[in-house]
Amino acid sequence: MAHVEVGTVVSIKMQKTVVVKVQRKVKHPLYKKQVTRTNKFKAHDEIGAGLGQKVRIAGTKPISKDIHFKVTEVISKW
């Protein structure tokens, strides 16, 4: 099964590619508090997701040097 993440589109400046910010909560190993970690992924976008929309991305074979994800669906419009 492919690696699936949910995140927010933060950049649409490239052609057919969007940058998706994925946030996750992890427990700090020493202080045992919830800490927010953020990763940005470039994803191939055939759907036409807009800025600020919440999308689901899935891992795929490498499309280019940086692009290893594909937008599978738009979860929320705004």
The pLDDT value recorded for residue 60 is 95
Q: Cα–Cα distance between 47 and 2 in angstroms, integer? A: 19
Q: Domain residues for 50?
A: 4-76
Domains of the chain: total: 1
For each of the chain's 78 residues, which pLDDT tens digit applies?
Answer: 579 999 999 999 999 999 999 999 999 999 999 999 999 999 999 999 999 999 999 999 999 999 999 999 999 876
Tell me which residue of 47, 50, 45 sits closest to 10, measured CA to CA.
50
Q: Cα–Cα distance between 22 and 56 in angstroms, integer? A: 10
Tell me which residue of 66, 27, 70, 65 sits closest to 45, measured CA to CA.
70
**24 contacts 37 by C-beta, under 8 angstroms:** yes
Specify the pTM.
Answer: 0.89
The pLDDT value recorded for residue 78 is 67
Domain harbouring 28, CATH code: 2.40.50.140
The pLDDT value recorded for residue 1 is 53
Token pair listed for 46? 């055939």
